[in-house]
A = this chain, B = another copy of it.
Amino acid sequence: MPTPPPIRHCSACGAPVSYRVPEGDSRPRAVCPACGHIQYENPRNIVGTIPAWQSSVLLCRRAIEPRLGLWTLPAGFMEIGETTQAGALRETREEAGAEVAIDGLYALINVLPAHQVYFFYRGRLVEPRWEAGEESLEVRLFSEQDVPWDAIAFRSVAQTLRRYFADLRTGRFELHAFDIE
């Protein structure tokens, strides 16, 4: 989930932009010298689920870069027109071919190097069915002992899974809000 490239041209008129601090602002922005349009860049949201079946979790092996071949929770960019929950369910369908019932927000993670905020919801598989989507090589249930910890695609996912399995032992699931720098 790479960050987008820098803005070179104005999205309103197509003229080359320059990065400068607009009047009344405190940060450099992509400002168009031709039409004055300011193009803002902001962090993007990644929405996904922790699809649970009994004491196991469904993971997807990535069929796309970055981290092709490594394991992850089903998650992806939140789209315009959907809620964070709806996006998480959509990604779970698309990547894992699975239907889950959401039990609440479990992890909220600021991933500073990627300019992203992750939302992971706890989800119960409504039935033990799944299927690798186009972006997955395979999809499998893992108990805590079986998780391929050395082959997890993203730190956000590894840290979420560590916390999840720890909470599973106590049965208490609170929101985990943390940052990755």
Contact = CB atoms under 8 A, between A and B. Distances in A.
Contacts of A80: 41-43, 115
A83 to B, nearest CB: 4
Tell me the number of copies of this protein.
2
Nearest to A17: B11
7 contacts: A11-B11, A24-B134, A40-B77, A45-B117, A84-B110, A84-B117, A105-B175
B16 A12 contact: no
A41 B46 CA distance: 13
B84 A42 contact: no
Contacts of A175: 105, 175
Interface string A69-98: 000000001111111110000000000000
The SS class assigned to the A binding surface is loop
Interface range on chain A: under 10, 10 to 19, 20 to 34, or 35 or more? 35 or more
Interface string A23-43: 010010010000001011111
Interface in A1-29: 4-5, 7-16, 24, 27
A50 interface: no
A14 B17 CA distance: 10
Interface in A102-137: 104-105, 108, 110, 112, 115, 117, 134
A167 interface: no
A163 interface: no
Contact of A7 (B11, B43, B134): B11
A13 B4 contact: no
A107 to B, nearest CB: 12
